[in-house]
Amino acid sequence: MADDPDAYVRDWKARTGRKAIGVLPMNFPSELVHAAGALPVLIQESSEPITLGRNLILEFYCGYTRSLVDQAVTGRFSHLDGIFLVDHCVALLGAVDAIRFALPDMPVVLEQFVASMDEAWSPAQVVERVALLRDRLTGLCGTDIDDEGLQNSISLYNRARALLRRIYELRRTGRAYLTSAEMQILVKSAMIMDVADHAGKLAELVDRLEEERPPIASAVRLHLSAHFCHAASPELLQAIEDCGASVVDDDLFTGYRFISTDVDEALEPLHGLVAWYFARNVAAPCSTRAQKSVDWEAFLIAKVRDAAADGVVMLMPKFCEPHMLYYPELRQALQAHDIPHLLVETEHEGLALEAVRVRVEAFLETIKRRVTVAREFV
């Protein structure tokens, strides 16, 4: 399902006779789509080269947004009945405008959530946006979204997130070994599959993983960070681990960031989704949100310490302005806490894996040397 999401969606629609709604990162409440009887599908970056989409979007947009436009122009959204989003950056807004131009008959709905999280008026505005989303989905899917149905959807998604977090815990504590590419498959498939089916498979996997007691890996323990909006290429993840590293945790979007926060089931469902939006930026702060009481640096350092990671590899998509503007603060904080880190810039096409391997190998040797010197000093 993770490798060919379009095929899964087409098959699901043929089996159920229901609609599929494409959603864009990062904070869209998929529970609303599920409660409307449709399949929420987080649109992935395609592995195909960008061709006709170049006519509608500039080259200095990130690879994900350029891929979105190319998929629209080349007819790869034909299985979707609409596209919804609540977040924006300059690049994503440009991509949405281009998609609307390429697909004039496709409903493309932006109900922007307030990005300034500290304002007293922010929650009320997000309540209005969630209500508008509910109304738009009701009209598109022809199904009323009542509180009972939405509560059931929330419970299902909470269960699925909890199962994925349990797998993260098993990996972080050394009780189970999964590569970063394997973890990405689990999260990526959660972004695509019917949530009940996915949760059922996850439950079986958790049972099997809990039976395993592998030896603690002797490889350098790494934390992977950032890469908002879309998945890093499996080849890149494999290259990092082939150098002798063990990825024990991450705060990637197609990773921990996606499943970091549950919806409070004690709240009225609509308000629970609003509270979830604000809680997500506390659980996993994002440079696209403005909140004085939390920061990505403190979160990242705490994650690294909790996982007993030896270093951090920052994955930054080329032309990702929110990450580029925030990176100097992250670098300064990591240096202040004596945490080794390596910045790797990624791109939709043309990633020089051999050059990445050389840099990662040098980074790992530096970490190993630090450990050796520390032991000798003690």
Distance CA 71, CA 69 (A): 5
Nearest to 126 by CA among 284, 287, 276, 21: 276
pLDDT value for 41: 98
How far the first Cα of the chain sits from its last, in Å, is 50
Ordered strands of the 20-23 beta sheet: 39-42, 20-23, 83-85, 108-110
Sign of CA dihedral 88, 89, 91, 97: positive
Backbone angles phi, psi at 249, to 5 degrees: -165, 170
pLDDT value for 378: 47
Which DSSP helix (H) or strand (E) runs through 22? strand 20-23
Annotate 308-331 with b (16+ C-beta within 10 A) or e (fewer): ebbbbbbbbbebbebbeebbeebe
Distance CA 296, CA 281 (A): 9
pLDDT value for 219: 85
Task: Read off the tokens for 139.
Answer: 């009209």
Cα angle for residues 29, 109, 287 (degrees, 5° grid): 55
pLDDT value for 250: 97
pLDDT value for 350: 77
Positions of the chain with pLDDT under 70:
212-218, 371-378
CB 80 within 8 A of CB 20: yes
Q: In Å, how far are 138, 174, 187, 235 from 77, measured between CA atoms?
A: 21, 40, 21, 25
Reduced to 3 states, what is the DSSP secondary structure of residue 105? coil
Reduced to 3 states, what is the DSSP secondary structure of residue 353? helix
- Go through the domains of the chain in sequence order and give each one's CATH number: 5-148 (3.40.50.11890), 178-377 (3.40.50.11900)
Q: In Å, how far are 4, 193, 214, 362 from 234, measured between CA atoms?
A: 14, 19, 24, 21
CB 25 within 8 A of CB 228: yes
Cα angle for residues 47, 64, 78 (degrees, 5° grid): 70
Distance CA 185, CA 158 (A): 19
Task: Read off the tokens for 32.
Answer: 């609303």
Nearest to 190 by CA among 198, 178, 182: 198
Task: Read off the tokens for 16.
Answer: 């159920």
